[in-house]
Amino acid sequence: MKFDTPATTNPIDQLKVVGKPTDRIDGPLKTTGKATYAYEWHNVAPNVAYGWVIGSGIAKGRIASMDLEAARKAPGVVAIVTAENAGSLDKGKRNAATLLGGPEIEHYQQAVALVVAETFEQARTAAGLVRIDYTPADGAYDLAAVKDKAEKTKDGDSVVGDFAGAFAAAPVKLDETYTTPDESHAMMEPHATIAAWEGDRLTVWTSNQMIDWMVTDLSATLKMPKDKVRVISPFIGGGFGGKLFLRADALLAALGAREAGRPVKVGLSRPLMMNNTTHRPATIQRVRIGAMPDGTITAIAHESWSGNLPGGSEETASDQTRLLYAGANRLIGNRIATLDLPEGNAMRAPGEASGMMALEVAMDEMAERLGMDPVEFRIRNDTQTDPADPNRPFSQRQLVQCLRLGAERFGWAKRNPKPGQVRDGRWLVGLGMASAFRNNLLTKSAARVRLDQRGIVTVETDMTDIGTGSYTIIAQTAAEMMGVGLDKVAVRLGDSSFPVSAGSGGQWGANNATAGVYAACVKLREAVAQKLGVNSADARFEDGQVVAGNRRVPLAEAAGADGLSAEDGIEYGDLDKKYQQSTFGAHYVEAAVDAATGEIRVRRMLAVCAAGRILNPKSARSQVIGAMTMGVGAALMEELALDKRTGFFVNHDLAGYEVPVHADIPHQEVIFLDETDPISSPMKAKGVGELGLCGVGAAVANAVHNATGLRVRDYPITLDKFLDRLPAMG
Amino acid sequence: MRPFTYERADSPAAAAAAVERRPGAKFIAGGTNLLDLMKLEIETPAHLIDVNGLKLDTLEATPDGGLRIGALVRNTDLAADPRVRRDYGVLSRALLAGASGQLRNKATTAGNLLQRTRCPYFYDTNQPCNKRQPGSGCAAIGGYSRQLAVVGSSEACIATHPSDMAVAMRALDATVETVRADGTTRTIPIAEFHRLPGDTPHIETALVPGELITAVTLPKPVGGTHVYRKVRDRASYAFALVSVAAVVQRDGSGRVAVGGVAHKPWRVEAAEAEIPRGAKAVTAGLLADAKPTHDNAFKLTLVERTLASVLAEAKG
Ligand SMILES: Cc1cc2nc3c(=O)[nH]c(=O)nc-3n(C[C@H](O)[C@H](O)[C@H](O)COP(=O)(O)OP(=O)(O)OC[C@H]3O[C@@H](n4cnc5c(N)ncnc54)[C@H](O)[C@@H]3O)c2cc1C
Ligand code: SF4
């Protein structure tokens, strides 16, 4: 189905199932331990052997020698894979460094060997006996040190008007630099894969967000035809972008299984993950804003620097600034430098998550300079069109409504605009806010739908559910389209033998994958109508029946003994060129700062989101509160601590890399505006899972400033960065 | 993890003898620290002697009005004991500020005292570390040292002792009771139990090989207001940046021990005379010889401010 004109009324608008707060249909499987995660497929691959990955002990250089003797002789060892015996390998197009390194080393903990043994313990013990000598080389590890060597990225700068002139002339201005650190996805389930060969066919049971990317890159790396690789990943214990790509677990499991001549299981250990896999790269961001005394922005510039391995891409942290606020003169761009750190790549809301942490603090600082309320300052600079192209409207933009409703619900009017004034016992208390913004991305997505003689509708698509609730919204979509209850729908996901979907990333999964299911259901409705000899436009699907004129036929009967099946997908025209499609929101935060120690504790959070039709308010809320939690982490504690001498992330476990715990997360509230966006898709929905993260960190930072009067422009805002500026102890 | 053998000891002295007999043998109690370190091959004992069955898990009053805490008493039980809560509040609070409920259910009194540093370089076997591998160097010096020691450190090691419990015990003047392989027992004042790193950061306590902790004894209660304040980057389940254990009397006298700053719980008795004059004066004495790194110099200010807050709280 081609979607090239805005949606009109369609069966989804009935909202009998879609739009209702719905429990996860896969919830019981998960709470009873019956959902099978990658490492737990105990019965699919008999005689499985266990692989343990050895990562490089240096960040850059060469392996001088590798002594495998002792490991080979260790009890239970079946095979050892290194670059020497792995055969000729290519590199997947989505990998910057090779996944099996050696003799050249490109980053710390780059995999250099897989030890395969009868048991997990034997593999790990034998791995400890491998002796590797390295010849280290000098590398570049410190972004600040290589910043001046950075280059403009291929998208180029967005230049509108004369920024320099307008900024120089602006009566009120700000020029500040903000930094964000490297961050780790730190999802619960580590990367894990079981691989089994049958002749020249390879099956991997894994944990991956983008099934087709995985098939493509795994087959490319192994130099084999794509159709000989099957990827199965129905349940995923979190990903946040860390599982978008083929990683070492899957490649090495496949190589290990080939070498061992039997299935091999590989899980990455947590200490390995943080340097072996991808991470959100650090940024340095310079924001300049010039405005008239009435708050009208006349000039805005946002430049972002990040680093990566050769072939890796930049963090697009300035991108939202192209679209979020008006301003006649603009200069926006990203720059990239070469660093020999582990690969930087997408982590939840790549670009905006880091970019909004800078831009939205700059807006707060600017409002203060203007003597304006920060909410009003943002409203003053709202725009209903792409600031670089007045002929390109937003498909929907209810930013102002989000800001106003949030202010009202949060009690913003009670905020003392003068910072450092509110005290509650030991605590200095402040309120902060920020806009939320994230683009809505359209990408094609297909599904297959079957109706059987029991009236059961089965949906198959390679879409994944990374904990977001994909199973449930897909079931809701099929139920709505086919006029049945959720109990009559079965959903099967995460298998490369199913039609290729959008996958889970960039908050594009919900809208695109359900739109693909919508398309397939339209086709199935046509097949049903045709079989009954009625015009599908005249047929209504309700209560498990097809109603056409006076006829009422149960779906089960219409399906007949052979059942009916249809496959289709959604493909998009140029509506995203004609219109800018984005999601909007507002974050409000109350934070308290211990007047003595500087410890920061968030007290209250509110997010208001305008993100098209909310397909399942229950799982959407869960996505947003999870994102808000991640935003607190980014603001206050998350940082991969870098050893700039040797080029690795030092705090590579969950004791050292702190993410928020329950005690950090207080009362959270989420409000969704009642919105539909017919320009986005037939579902009239957009994404929301990343929107919830974009701006939270800045809202926390702004609350800390309101509480203390102090600005920390170097995330995370830990107490060591401002302790000496807190008021003296009485 | 290296393969190891395992046995259960049936008496404290037999346990001590078993460790002494086998080079590379270790006791295992709750296992919450030792097993993690074994998985990473930071500890590689060839033999484990399980001390959980030694009936060292009771609390009893001592003749002079103190409390004898069995080495195997779990952190959860110790924190919840009514006598501890009434008479040694600082200890109960310190325990509850540590780790998580699940870990405290397993963690034992002796194991907690002997838990090893959380220096991140100690945890990465690719990195030089004098504590893990004597003579290999110290990667933390000149590296990422935000969490590490500001006082009592050496050219060889700047690690901290991560325990909360031990800081409170230091303030309470606890003594550690042990038994050796030959059956002889001794008591070690907590002040002398943990060592500074010096040139031998791998030797962390006064214990000799095979020496088993049987109990920790608290002297009779000293009264006063008990405060334990742990400063950390998140609200729970994090090691201290610094912590302060204080017992303050009505007349303004008191005791203060500090965690997160040194290779051992840090207390300078002479500095306590300054308590009536306030945190600045006390801190000046406590941290007189501090040699912080660039990353952790903030701890000096943090100790002073935290102590000021604690003293204010104690005054009520
Ligand atoms: C994620 C995490 C977070 C934590 N957070 C904190 C925290 O915030 N604050 C804090 O204080 N602690 C914290 N801990 C540490 C925890 O308190 C210790 O792991 C625990 O107290 C160790 O006790 P155990 O009985 O499990 O010791 P084990 O692991 O069994 O043993 C530790 C050591 O003591 C030796 N040993 C044990 N018993 C004896 C004995 N009777 N005599 C002689 N030697 C003995 C063992 O040989 C071993 O060397 C944390 C731990 C983890 C894993
Ligand atoms: S500070 Fe001590 S524990 Fe840390 S690396 Fe140096 S020697 Fe090892």
**Buried b / exposed e across B210-247, counting CB within 10 Å, b at 16+?**
bbbbbbbbbeebbebbbbbbbbbbbbebbbbbbbbbbb
- What single-letter DSSP state applies at residue A344? B
Closest residue, chain B, to A728 (C-alpha): B305
Quickly name the fold that domain B5-52 has: 3.30.43
| d(C-alpha A360, C-alpha A399), whole Å | 14
Question: Is there a contact between B232 and A599 if contact means CB atoms under 8 Å apart?
Answer: yes
Question: Is there a contact between A663 and B236 if contact means CB atoms under 8 Å apart?
Answer: yes
The CATH class for the domain spanning A49-138+187-277 reads alpha beta
| d(C-alpha B33, C-alpha B107), whole Å | 8
A411: amino acid identity, one letter: G
Report the mean per-residue pLDDT for chain A.
Answer: 97
Alpha-carbon A610 to chain mean position: 19
| d(C-alpha A343, C-alpha A150), whole Å | 17
Q: Nearest-CA neighbor of A531 among A495, A506, A497, A555?
A: A555
Q: Are A434 and A691 in contact (CB under 8 A)?
A: no
In the numeric block, which tokens belong to residue A249?
A: 């677990």
The H or E element spanning position A403 is: helix A399-410
Collapsing DSSP states into helix, strand and coil, what is residue A581?
coil
- Is residue B138 in contact with ligand 2, taking CB distance under 6 Å? yes
A627: amino acid identity, one letter: A
In the numeric block, which tokens belong to residue A650?
A: 């030092």
Q: Which CATH architecture has domain A393-440+581-725?
A: 2-Layer Sandwich (3.30)
| d(C-alpha A207, C-alpha A217), whole Å | 15
Alpha-carbon A18 to chain mean position: 24
Query: pLDDT, tens digit, for every residue of A28-58?
Result: 999 999 999 999 999 999 999 999 999 999 9
- Is residue B30 in contact with ligand 1, taking CB distance under 6 Å? yes
- With a pLDDT cut of 90, the percent of chain B lying above it is 99
Question: If you average pLDDT over residues B41-56, what whole number do you get?
Answer: 97
The reported pLDDT for the residue numbered B272 is 98
Query: pLDDT, tens digit, for every residue of A2-36?
Result: 999 999 999 999 999 999 999 999 999 999 999 99
**What DSSP string describes A100-153?**
S--SEE-STT-EEEEEEESSHHHHHHHHTT-EEEEEE------HHHHGGG-EE-
How close is the Cα of A490 to the center of ligand 1, in Å? Answer: 48
Collapsing DSSP states into helix, strand and coil, what is residue A649?
strand
Collapsing DSSP states into helix, strand and coil, what is residue A722?
coil
Collapsing DSSP states into helix, strand and coil, what is residue B273?
helix
The reported pLDDT for the residue numbered A175 is 98
The reported pLDDT for the residue numbered B316 is 81
| d(C-alpha A603, C-alpha A614), whole Å | 27
Query: pLDDT, tens digit, for every residue of A105-119?
Result: 999 999 999 999 999
Of 3.40.50.800, 3.30.390.50, 1.10.390.10, 3.30.565.10, the CATH number of B225-315 is 3.30.390.50
- With a pLDDT cut of 70, the percent of chain A lying above it is 100
**Buried b / exposed e across A403-439, counting CB within 10 Å, b at 16+?**
bbbbbeebebeebeeebbebeeeebbbbbbbbbbbbb
- Proximal ligand: closest to the CA of B117: 2
Which among A597, A645, A718 has the least Cβ separation from residue B142? A645
- Is residue B34 in contact with ligand 1, taking CB distance under 6 Å? yes
Question: If you average pLDDT over residues A70-90, what whole number do you get?
Answer: 98
| d(C-alpha A458, C-alpha A475), whole Å | 9
Strand-pair partners of A625:
none
- What single-letter DSSP state applies at residue B235? S
| CA distance to B87, B89, B110, B173, B222, per residue, from B219 (Å) | 11, 14, 18, 7, 8
Residues of A within 8 A of B298 (CB-CB) are 719-720, 723-724
Q: Does B2 touch chain A (CB under 8 A)?
A: yes
Collapsing DSSP states into helix, strand and coil, what is residue B265?
coil
Report the mean per-residue pLDDT for chain B.
Answer: 97
How close is the Cα of B31 to the center of ligand 1, in Å? Answer: 7
Which 233-272 residues of chain B touch chain A by CB within 8 A? 233-239, 241
pLDDT band (50, 70, 90) for residue A155: confident
Q: Report the predicted TM-score, pTM, of the whole model to 2 decimal places.
A: 0.98
- Optimal mutation site among B40, B234, B311, interface A, most CBs of chain A within 10 A: B234
Of 3.30.365.10, 3.40.50.280, 3.30.70.240, 3.40.50.720, the CATH number of A2-32+442-576 is 3.30.365.10
Q: Are A326 and A338 in contact (CB under 8 A)?
A: no
Q: Is A352 part of the annotated catalytic residue set?
A: no
Collapsing DSSP states into helix, strand and coil, what is residue A450?
strand
- Number of Cβ atoms within 10 Å of the Cβ of B5: 11
Query: pLDDT, tens digit, for every residue of B244-259?
Result: 999 999 999 999 999 9
The reported pLDDT for the residue numbered A154 is 86
- Optimal mutation site among A428, A650, A717, A725, interface B, most CBs of chain B within 10 A: A650
Query: pLDDT, tens digit, for every residue of A358-412?
Result: 999 999 999 999 999 999 999 999 999 999 999 999 999 999 999 999 999 999 9
Question: Is there a contact between B238 and A663 if contact means CB atoms under 8 Å apart?
Answer: no
Which among A128, A426, A661 has the least Cβ separation from residue B236? A661
Question: If you average pLDDT over residues A149-165, what whole number do you get?
Answer: 94
Query: pLDDT, tens digit, for every residue of A228-284?
Result: 999 999 999 999 999 999 999 999 999 999 999 999 999 999 999 999 999 999 999
Residues of B within 8 A of A60 (CB-CB) are none
In the numeric block, which tokens belong to residue A316?
A: 């697009």
Place of tokens 């505006």: A673
Strand-pair partners of B133:
none
Q: Does B33 touch chain A (CB under 8 A)?
A: no
Residue ranges of domains in chain B? 5-52, 225-315
Every domain range in chain A assigned CATH 3.30.365.10: 2-32+442-576, 49-138+187-277, 393-440+581-725
Q: Which of B27, B36, B113, B179 to mutate to test the pocket of ligand 1 (most atoms within 8 A of CB)?
A: B27
- Proximal ligand: closest to the CA of B165: 1
In the numeric block, which tokens belong to residue A337?
A: 């430098």
